[in-house]
Amino acid sequence: MSDILHRFAEHGFVAPNMGQPHIAHIAPHLWQSLTGGASQALPTPDVSNPWPQSSRVVLIVVDGLGWHNVNDHASAAPFLSELMAGKSPATTGFPATTATSMATIGTGRLAGQTGLVGYSAMNPMTGAVGNFVSWRDVEPPLEIQRETTLFEQLTAAGVPVTSVSLERFAQSGLTQAAFRGAQHVAAESLDDTVDYTLQALREPGLVHMYWGEIDKVGHVHGPHSPQWIDELTSFDQALQRLMASAPAGTLCVITADHGMVNIAPRDRIDIADDYSLMRGVRAVAGEPRAPQVYTNSPGMADQVAQRWAARLGKRAMVVTRTQAQEAGLLGDVSDHVLPWCGDVLVLTTGTTAIVDSSTMTPMAIGLRGMHGSLTPYEVHVPLIAATL
């Protein structure tokens, strides 16, 4: 394990450390803040709860709001930047991607227990590459993500839970996996999202507010684009309005699922016709920044990992699934989750992206902003709490 951690440092990665602020701490900390006690269904963090008790809490999750991305454009988000001043970032789990992080925020557990091991994964029952965002070609949500959610537990304890997001998310597979147990309120615009969140905060309980436009714009235009900066400014103004209008005594927690790096055309490596990489490979899933490679036979993992490492050189760190488990990348891995994990995991460095023109659309290949690996820009996110 020490060798793996040394390799993390060599590649500029953020090593797993549950003793530091982490999005996995959110669920158990919120339970304690709302109920005053410890939970038997949620994990106990290695760090004490830094948040005060409150009967009224709003959890704001902003897709793609990376800590360093915000700092790069602090003048575009003066209110949020002031909240972040003097504080340190929290980290996501691995991979640093929406499906994985949302399940971690909702349950307090890492991918090895939630089963949401990436944007996509090979379904061990069918051999198809399934998608955990659209919930295509994967098993029913409760069969994969079997851990109790924070929202389920609070609702059972009599604490009202409201979730405000797009209407299409109300019954989505990802919502059922990560955030089941809440009453959903549909809001399509940022102004409506803030307004309905404020309405829900009139009564005690937990309100979960999700906004995803920053991530969407970042993927298409890049996290340094004028379009991304405009979205950041819009959110900053909306956040200021929400915090100024929420009832006194509300505990406001702001976080994100991942950050983002900018990918130039020269950064992409197309594996479609690369025999040195695809020999012995059954499927490649995950993210372009963190591919998971499924071999024709588990016994081939070491050989495939060696070929990928030789081909990619300093542009990636390549580990087998066994090495990833030893390093704690996925946390404790449940028996039913293990077959969903790739035999070989590829963590890209710098701004490298692994694409496959035989399976990916030109739009997906050409995305300007990507995430998934363990660089600071991808795993460092805000985790700010303020009592209003």
**1 located within any domain:** no
| Whole-number percent of the chain with pLDDT over 90 | 93
Question: Is the four-CA dihedral 286, 288, 294, 300 of positive or negative sign?
Answer: negative
Give residue 298's pLDDT band: very low, low, confident or very high (50, 70, 90). confident
Closest listed residue to residue 264, CA positions, set 337, 350, 351, 328: 351
> Do 78 and 180 reside in the same domain of the chain?
yes
Nearest residue to 45 via CA among 30, 63, 66: 30
**pLDDT category, 2, cuts 50, 70, 90?**
low
Residue 167 has pLDDT above 90, yes or no: yes
Per residue in 81-130, pLDDT (tens digit) is 999 999 999 999 999 999 999 999 999 999 999 999 999 999 999 999 99
**pLDDT of 48 higher than 70:** yes
pLDDT (0 to 100) of residue 287: 97
310/244 same-domain check: no
Q: Is residue 2 part of a domain?
A: no
Determine the pLDDT at residue 214.
Answer: 98
Rounded to the nearest 10 degrees, the angle between the axes of helix 190-200 and helix 226-245 is 20
pLDDT for residue 34 is more than 80? yes
Residue 38 has what pLDDT? 84
Q: Is the pLDDT of residue 39 over 90?
A: no
Residues 359, 381 share a domain? no
Percent of all residues in the chain with a pLDDT value above 70, rounded to a whole number: 99
Do 58 and 192 lie in one domain? The reply is yes
* Lowest-confidence pick of 35-39, 156-160, 306-310, 381-385: 35-39
Write the pLDDT tens digit of every residue in 321-344: 999 998 899 999 999 999 999 999
Mean pLDDT of the chain: 96
Show the tokens assigned to 247.
């009832």
* Same domain flag for 304 and 168: no
pLDDT at 80 over 90: yes
Asked if residue 5 belongs to a domain, the reply is no
Question: Which of these, 208, 178, 182, 205, lies nearest to 196 by C-alpha position?
Answer: 208
∠ CA 244-245-249 to the nearest 5 degrees? 85
- Look up residue 116 and give its DSSP letter: -
pLDDT in tens, 139-160: 999 999 999 999 999 999 999 9
Q: 345 pLDDT exceeds 60?
A: yes
Are 301 and 250 contained in the same domain? no
Note whether 251 and 307 are same-domain residues.
no
**DSSP assignment string, 178-233:** HSTTSEEEE--SHHHHHHHHHHHTTSSEEEEEEE-HHHHHHHHH-TTSHHHHHHHH
**Whole-model pTM over 0.85:** yes
Q: Is the pLDDT of residue 177 over 70?
A: yes
- Name the domain count of the chain: 2
Q: What SS3 class is residue 357?
A: coil
- Do 165 and 303 belong to one domain? no
Q: What DSSP element (H or E) covers 105?
A: helix 98-107
Q: In terms of domains, do 348 and 217 share one?
A: no
- In 27-186, beta strands by DSSP E: 56-62, 90-91, 120-122, 129-131, 161-165, 183-186
Per-residue HEC secondary structure of 14-37 comes to: CCCCCCCCEHHHHHHHHHHHHHCC
Residue 1 has pLDDT above 90, yes or no: no
Position 4 in a domain: no
pLDDT at 280 over 60: yes
Please indicate, yes or no, whether residues 241 and 99 belong to a single structural domain of this protein: yes
Q: Which two tokens stand for residue 123?
A: 């379904």
pLDDT tens digits along 194-234 = 999 999 999 999 999 999 999 999 999 999 999 999 999 99
Report pLDDT for 5. Answer: 77
Residue 46 has pLDDT above 90, yes or no: no
356 and 234 in a common domain: no
Q: How far apart are CA 351 and CA 353, in angstroms?
A: 7
| Domain that includes residue 330, residue range | 265-368
**Strands across the sheet with 251-256, in order?**
183-186, 161-165, 205-211, 56-62, 251-256, 383-387
Which pLDDT does position 211 carry in this prediction?
98
Q: What is the CA radius of gyration of the chain?
A: 20
